[in-house]
Structure 1
Amino acid sequence: MPTDASAPATARSLQVPGARLYYEVRGEGPLIVLVGAPMDAAAFAPLAELLAVDHTVLTTDPRGINRSRLDDPEEDSTPQLRADDLSRLIAQVGAGPATVLGSSGGAVSALALVQDHPEQVHTVVAHEPPVIELLEDREQLRTGTEELVATYLAGDVTGAWRKFFAQAGITMPEPLIEEMFGGERDPRQVADERRWFAHEMRLSTYWQPDVSALRAAATRVVVGVGDDSAGELCDRTSRALARSLGAEPTSFPGGHTGFVETPDAFADRLRSVVGDG
């Protein structure tokens, strides 16, 4: 694998229906798209730099997050809208068909992209998509999601995050929750967080993949799970998705945000997985 990780990013924007999308392009070569929801382009920058030594790498702020501004700030963010945004960005960059790594809600966006625009993507790595509708306890999880969203919108931010981590199966010490989500915080972070709770979380987690369409598509679909995610909610949803597709999940270094925690190891694994295809 090349080791020069100094590829500079070119920042651009694209007007799409209802929004102006912020995106960054690095490097040259086959196109790889790195996308989250609600995670923005900055979260993927270290991984993008590693991949850009021999790829064109596209990262973006999802609509309504950070630098991707909406015409209507109260518009909901659906997987279908985000998939259409990705389709337009891939066409704009013009280096497709693409490999798409989507993580968490971004994995839901990537799966929707396969369903709606399969010709634009030859491989999707859906890393820990929170598709709770595939689980037997989905009704309980829906109830829990409604409760934690209501808690947040009522103004109890740390209470909402406690409920979120408990439902996600992620151990988070109380002092760390207070440190991360209590007291004075960056206004942009708070705005993005509120948008996620109010306009995105439910629509992403309640989205049900069209398994027949995913299996019928020419696109290769890889379901990724973190080595450190065993027993967590997104580990369960990912394994359920892989079973529905008649496949085995593919392990990646780290946990739910392994691409942030260990970008070098994650890049090596992603290269191996994409190369296997």
Structure 2
Amino acid sequence: MTEPTVGSLRVPGATLRYEVRGRGPLLLLIPGGAGGAAAVEEIADAFAADHTVVSYDPRGMGGSPLDDPEAEQRVSEHADDALRLLDEVSPGEPARVFGASSGAIAALHLLATRPDRVERVVAHEPPVVEVLPDAAVHRALVARVQETLRTRGLMPAMSVFAEGLRKEGGGDTAGPRGVTELPPRAAARRERTMADLPYFVGRIVPSFMAYTPDADRLAGLSGRLVLAGGEDSRGELPYRTAAFLADRLGSELRHFPGGHTGLTTHPAAFGAHLREALGA
């Protein structure tokens, strides 16, 4: 394990906790879900031998508190946080960027709005449901999740959310095939992840899943964008959005080990695929 240098960066409305490892070309890791920087630490360690790797807790999670705990969250603001981190660590140097899930949505926005700062983006299963023909169905899902969270609490809301992410026509999405337990470092993160889950479900999910990427802009930048999906999540909602967007941009969807959380369940194999996708 590579011990990171830990920093703190003031941004509008929040203070970001970030970590820097290694030396070499700049690689920014944008975590998804409620995991924060700890969720990508295996990947960060793997790349630190030949990259300057930056990871962080997104605003409102982990060690990155909001000035106003009730503040509405916006994709553009989260993407601006990523840009400010790039400027803090290495002003002017184009970066390689990896984003997972909600972090992949922020990465797409960063590429579309500031391509001068991005050399290449790998976006793993961004749940940009607004690109899908049946987007209205998924808007209704998000509304049900929020209503369930308000009236019945976190775990019932998570059950509704998980059901909505299942494969078309049903099917088991209980976990990646052949995986019976999390790796030790992933299991150790469970408590922190659970602590951030209400914020993620209540603030990040409705905002990020309402986001519509600028497909025309991204099409012009498709040579710098790799859209990825999990081998074990074919047919699930985040996979479908990644596949649909890749097709719309005229690019091929690249498959990574595991499912939606493959970077947690298959960190070594996932990191090897990421290295290839980044051309690193």
TM-score for the superposition, normalised by structure 2:
0.88
Contact 2:154–2:198 under 8 Å retained in 1: no
Contact 2:121–2:278 under 8 Å retained in 1: no
Distance 1:217 1:171 in 2: 33
Q: Which residue of 2 aligns with 1:171?
A: 173
- Give the alignment's Cα RMSD to 1 decimal: 1.9
CA positional deviation for 1:197: 2.0
Matched, 1:31 2:26: yes
CA positional deviation for 1:216: 2.2
One-letter code of the match for 1:258? G
Contact 2:26–2:51 under 8 Å retained in 1: yes
Deviation readout 1:133-169 (Å, 9 max, x if unpaired):
1112111111111011110122332221111111111
One-letter code of the match for 2:24? G
Picking from 114, 117, 120, the partner of 1:117 is 114
Distance 1:128 1:214 in 2: 16
Picking from 79, 82, 92, the partner of 1:86 is 82
Contact 1:7–1:53 under 8 Å retained in 2: no
CA positional deviation for 1:206: 1.1
Aligned CA distance change for structure 1 residues 160 and 218 (closer, same or farther; 3 Å)? closer
Q: What is the 5 A alignment of 1:6-45?
A: 6-38=1-33, 39-45=35-41
- Amino-acid identity (%): 41
One-letter code of the match for 2:224? R
TM-score for the superposition, normalised by structure 1:
0.89
Distance 1:266 1:28 in 2: 21
CA positional deviation for 1:190: 4.8
Matched position secondary structure for 2:245 = helix
Aligned CA distance change for structure 1 residues 219 and 62 (closer, same or farther; 3 Å)? farther
Matched, 1:76 2:78: no
One-letter code of the match for 1:148? V
Choose 56-65 or 91-100, whichever is displaced more.
91-100
Distance 1:132 1:216 in 2: 21
Where in structure 2 are there 5+ consecutive unaligned residues? 167-171, 181-189
Contact 1:64–1:70 under 8 Å retained in 2: yes
Matched position secondary structure for 1:129 = coil
One-letter code of the match for 1:168? L
CA positional deviation for 1:172: 3.1
Matched, 1:259 2:256: no
Picking from 119, 130, 140, the partner of 2:127 is 130
Distance 1:197 1:153 in 2: 11
CA positional deviation for 1:236: 0.5
Picking from 51, 56, 59, the partner of 1:63 is 59
Distance 2:194 2:259 in 1: 24
Contact 1:118–1:219 under 8 Å retained in 2: no
Q: Which residue of 2 aligns with 1:145?
A: 142
Q: How many residue pairs end up in the alignment?
A: 260
One-letter code of the match for 1:14? L
